[in-house]
């Protein structure tokens, strides 16, 4: 009897194993398909929208399942014109047919500065209108260089009673109708948008939001907004970012419930200092200011209740210091950037006016420099030891210390008079301007401690 060749047997065995594996995959796939719709929807929600859509080719069971998704996300980054056009057609065809009764969130991001502008602004308006008709809860739109004209939003969006989160960026026009109402909106983000009415659009939009809690505003070069009226009694968090060289205008706040306030800009000119006014904000917990537009002395009286203050004000003149008589009784945590001619003078003023301070952190913001040659002496204003040093300060950190003579004098003064200090951390910056060996400096600091329980920690960058 003739023996079967070995290679034929091995090939047959391999084919059988392959078929078995495919069958097992099919069985597993069938098992997944037999799961209830609610569970399958949870699986699809874990996937990007593009991947969820691709499951429609698996079987008839999956063909339209993705169209019940309550969360949709479409993004386009530097794609070719044909890809952008295909995505536009897909969204325009399927969004009106979407089966979910409620769209929890819709995220549209079309940012492509390399493309010829190929999408009509009316297309974006229709997409948003469809989302509003599906009781949209969270809407995020970012359009940049996609159309010849700016994208406008349908008037129905401004009367959407279900909307909770609205985020708009770049080539979007804010044009609020007179009867606008957003009774559920709690989060609003406006980044480099255009206001149809430069003087009233923002104010009119905010007046439509009776329960707004979180507001982020980012201004761009060339806008003529002029006045920033933020009159929102319910507001808890406010972030303002001013870009490039713009007319800073007027910032007027009526936010008595505010807990968090952040202002950031990259201005360098005193000519465009922002005019500021505000009612007292007794609930303030955290203030973060990196600004020369919003001069510190102009708004310091509005933040006297703050508990945690981060400050980089770029003070270069004596007038930049705030007036006498202001006390921060609730301030517990202070972070101060060591840039500007008068930062050390400001530090001593804040220490004097913060009797209950517990934590002090000196740092240098990224991109900011400290010119030691024009650093004004803080000792000129020294009258008595601040109360917080002798009674409450427990933690002190100084990052990016170059160990110059001026820095060492200030460091030794704080160490000597901080009687309750528990930990002092010094992070030395490796730079050629250092005048003495670090060993001598560290020993000098160790001998200056006024608190016997203070632990000195030295680190190096």
Q: What is the pLDDT of residues 158-209, one digit of tens each?
A: 999 999 999 999 888 899 988 899 999 999 999 989 888 766 788 899 999 9
pLDDT of 245: 57
Q: Helix, strand, coil % (nearest 5) of the chain?
A: 35, 25, 45
pLDDT exceeds cutoff 90 at 33: no
Task: Tell me the HSE value of 394 on the side-chain side, using a 13 A CA sphere.
Answer: 5
With tokens 């359009």, the residue in question is: 143
pLDDT of 354: 96
Between 17 and 301, name the one with better pLDDT: 301
pLDDT of 239: 95
Percentage of the chain beyond pLDDT 90 is 36
Between 60 and 413, name the one with better pLDDT: 413
pLDDT exceeds cutoff 50 at 416: yes
pLDDT of 96: 87
The ranges assigned to domains in the chain are: 70-212, 307-461
pLDDT exceeds cutoff 60 at 19: no
Length of the chain, in residues: 461
Q: Are 119 and 146 in contact (CB under 8 A)?
A: yes
pLDDT average, residue stretch 22-44: 61
Q: Tell me the pLDDT of the chain averaged across its residues.
A: 80
Q: Are 341 and 316 in contact (CB under 8 A)?
A: yes
Within 308-351, strands assigned E span 308-312, 333-337
Between 233 and 64, name the one with better pLDDT: 233
Highest mean pLDDT among 276-285, 309-318, 363-372, 415-424: 415-424
Question: CA–CA separation, 105 vs 440, rounded Å?
Answer: 60
Q: Quickly count helices (H) and strands (E) in the chain.
A: 12, 21
Question: CA–CA separation, 404 vs 322, rounded Å?
Answer: 27
Q: Point out the least confidently predicted range of 22-31, 85-94, 108-117, 200-209.
A: 22-31
pLDDT of 353: 94
pLDDT average, residue stretch 5-34: 49
pLDDT exceeds cutoff 50 at 8: no
pLDDT tens-digit profile of 257-271? Answer: 999 999 887 654 444
pLDDT tens-digit profile of 208-253? Answer: 999 999 999 988 766 666 678 899 999 999 998 877 556 657 788 9
pLDDT of 436: 58
pLDDT exceeds cutoff 80 at 380: no
Task: Tell me the HSE value of 33 on the side-chain side, using a 13 A CA sphere.
Answer: 16
Longest alpha-carbon distance in the chain: 114
Helix, strand or coil for residue 320? helix
Helix, strand or coil for residue 260? strand
pLDDT of 50: 74
Taking the C-alpha atoms of 192, 197, 198 and 199 in order, what is their torsion angle to the nearest 10 degrees?
-130
pLDDT exceeds cutoff 90 at 376: no
């Amino acid at each position: 009897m003739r023996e079967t060749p070995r290679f034929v047997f091995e090939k047959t065995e391999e084919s059988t194993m392959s078929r078995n594996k495919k069958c097992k995959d099919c069985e597993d796939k069938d098992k997944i398909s037999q799961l209830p719709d609610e569970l399958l929807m949870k699986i699809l929600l874990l996937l990007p929208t593009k991947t969820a859509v691709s499951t429609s080719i698996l079987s008839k069971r999956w063909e339209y399942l993705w169209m019940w998704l309550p969360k949709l996300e479409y993004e386009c980054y530097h794609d070719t014109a044909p890809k952008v056009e295909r995505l536009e057609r897909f969204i325009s065809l399927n969004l009106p047919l979407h089966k979910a009764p409620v769209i929890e969130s819709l995220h549209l991001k079309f940012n492509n500065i390399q493309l010829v502008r190929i999408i009509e602004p009316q297309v974006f308006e229709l997409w948003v209108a469809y989302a509003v008709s599906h009781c949209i809860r969270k809407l995020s739109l970012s359009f940049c260089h996609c159309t010849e004209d700016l994208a406008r939003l349908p008037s129905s969006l401004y009367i959407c009673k279900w909307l909770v989160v609205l985020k708009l960026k770049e080539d979007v026009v804010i044009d609020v109708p007179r009867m606008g109402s957003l009774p559920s909106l709690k989060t609003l983000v406006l980044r480099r948008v255009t206001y149809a009415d430069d003087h009233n659009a923002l104010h009119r939009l905010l007046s439509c939001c009776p329960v707004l809690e979180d507001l982020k505003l980012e201004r761009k070069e060339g806008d003529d907004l002029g006045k920033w009226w933020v009159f929102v009694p319910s507001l808890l968090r406010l972030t303002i970012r001013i870009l490039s060289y713009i007319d800073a205008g007027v910032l007027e706040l009526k936010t008595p419930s505010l807990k968090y306030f952040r202002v950031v800009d990259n201005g360098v000119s005193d000519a465009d200092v922002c005019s500021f006014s505000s009612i007292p904000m007794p609930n303030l917990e955290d203030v973060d200011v990196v600004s020369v537009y919003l001069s510190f002395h102009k708004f310091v009286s509005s933040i006297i209740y703050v508990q945690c203050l981060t400050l980089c004000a770029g003070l270069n003149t004596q007038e930049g210091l705030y007036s006498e008589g202001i006390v921060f009784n609730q301030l517990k945590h202070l972070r101060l950037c060591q840039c500007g001619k008068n930062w050390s003078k400001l530090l001593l003023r804040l220490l004097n006016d913060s009797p209950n301070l517990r934590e002090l952190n000196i740092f240098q913001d990224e991109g900011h420099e400290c010119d030691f040659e024009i650093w004004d002496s803080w000792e000129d204003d020294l009258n008595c030891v601040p109360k917080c040093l002798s009674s409450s300060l427990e933690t002190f950190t100084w990052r990016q210390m170059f160990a110059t003579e001026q820095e060492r004098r200030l460091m030794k003064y704080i160490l000597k008079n901080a009687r309750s200090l528990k930990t002092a951390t010094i992070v030395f910056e490796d730079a050629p301007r250092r005048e003495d060996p670090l060993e001598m400096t560290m020993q000098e600091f160790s001998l200056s401690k006024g608190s016997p329980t203070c632990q000195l920690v030295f680190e190096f960058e």
